[in-house]
Amino acid sequence: MRIHEYQAKQLFAKYGIPVSASNTASTVDEAVSSANALGYPVVVKAQIHAGGRGKGGGIELAKSASQVRDAATRMLGMTLVTPQTGSGGRIVRLLLIESAADIAQELYLGMAIDRGNRAITVMASRAGGVDIEETALRDPDAILKEIVDPFLGLRPFQAFRLAHRLGLPIKTARGVAKFIQSLYRLFCEQDCVLAEINPLAITSDGDPLAIDAKLNLDDNGLFRHPDLRDLRDLNEEDPLEVEATAVNLNYIKLDGTVGCLVNGAGLAMATMDLIKHVGASPANFLDVGGGATAEMIEKGVQILIGDPDVKAVFINIFGGILRCDVLAEGVVAAAKKLSILVPVIVRLEGTNVEQGRRILNESGLSFRTASSLGEAAVMVAAAVGVTS
Ligand code: GDP
Ligand code: MN
């Protein structure tokens, strides 16, 4: 789960990680009164779940109340397009008004669970700021790394070594090492999967300060943090994924054209492989699970055809606990309610498969039923117009 910069900074403050004084504002008047309370200059920052805001016009320095008014008027309600939002952009609903910092140097600090190393990896660079992505591609050696032993945790010497390798003077290096250790503690205690401070500023006094703050939380750890669960902003999430979660469906949007409805994560992975194998591409991962009801199936179909990218639907079910007749009833109910304009290919096998096929065939609706995976794959490829 992603959270906003202002929410991440509230967590930072709890862990003693230095941040500037700030307030959120959802109206222009609130922005101005926040800025007046903080004193000038301030930075007006659009709160969306994407970086690159500076490049898209979502970050502005304001030296007076009238400049805050102008910036807030421009930003609130705007569709902010940045290199990370995609062309659709994101609507700005909230601003962070923050005391402007006097920045002498911009560093980069990141922390992630590195699957390759099977450990949390701390990354830092002198080339912080808005162009870190380009730097990482052009000059990967500019990113320094410390791999954390999962049993020992981050050792103090690792934090100091990283700060030292950044070429910082001793007092600043001490401050940065402490910053890294505090962030590591937050990262572990709050079950994060990614933390990024870009830039981690060094102020003119030589102290570290988190100018930006990105934290991604582990969805599977949220049950341990009811307070963090409340930080979720549904406006920032794919509406179809939100709908799916509400009815306990496991749905992840992908960028292909074949909508898949499958039971069981293993079968879902195999189905996506199969689609790729015949030259097509899955539009999503949708696992209705072992104990799906007809209502859940109906909702699943509705979610699939609600995606404008879907050019064909492939229902691939192995009936174990989920019986084929229950599946068929759900699909038929969905098809009768919704106008399905794309071909629907169904491959059923397992418990009550004969009944399931009969329900589909007698529904009067035009499903294309396949009797094997191979046959289904060919039908799917033909339906989306790939020839393999
Ligand atoms: P991003 O573009 O979404 O990554 O937003 P950031 O919060 O990282 O801000 C982008 C850039 O704005 C930073 O790299 C800084 O150069 C600048 N900036 C942000 N806040 C301040 C501030 O308080 N003082 C100064 N001088 N610059 C700032
Ligand atoms: Mn940034």
Q: Which of 114, 146, 141, 110 is nearest to 128 (CA)?
A: 110
Please state, rounded to an integer, the average pLDDT across all residues of the chain: 93
**pLDDT above 80 for 291:** no
Give dist(CA 388, CA 381) in Å, integer. 8
pLDDT at 388: 55
The domain made up of 1-19+103-236 has a fold known as: D-amino Acid Aminotransferase; Chain A, domain 1 (3.30.470)
**pLDDT above 60 for 298:** yes
Q: Which of 114, 37, 43 is nearest to 72 (CA)?
A: 43
Report the 3 state secondary structure along 224-254: HCHHHHCCCCHHHCCHHHHHHHHCCCEEEEC
CA of 70 to the centre of ligand 2 (A): 22
Q: pLDDT by residue (tens digit) across 130-187? A: 788 788 888 888 899 999 999 999 999 999 999 999 999 999 999 999 999 999 999 9
Tokens of 336: 């009768």
| Superfamily (CATH) of domain 238-383 | Succinyl-CoA synthetase domains (3.40.50.261)
Residue 134 appears among annotated catalytic residues: no
CB atoms within 10 A of CB 303: 24
More confident residue, 291 or 286: 286
| Superfamily (CATH) of domain 21-100 | ATP-grasp fold, A domain (3.30.1490.20)
Coil, strand or helix at 382: helix
Tokens of 126: 């002198």
- Domain ranges across the chain: 1-19+103-236, 21-100, 238-383
Tokens of 378: 């060919």
In CATH terms, are 21-100 and 238-383 the same topology?
Answer: no
pLDDT at 264: 87
Q: Which of 378, 318, 379, 373 is nearest to 343 (CA)?
A: 379
Cis amide linkage into residue 140, ω under 30° from 0: no
**The whole model's pTM is what?**
0.82
User: Which residues neighbour 321 within 8 Å (Cβ) at sequence distance 6 or greater?
Assistant: 290, 291
| Substitution candidate for ligand 1 out of 6, 38, 43 with most atoms within 8 A of CB | 43
| Substitution candidate for ligand 1 out of 130, 134, 203, 215 with most atoms within 8 A of CB | 130
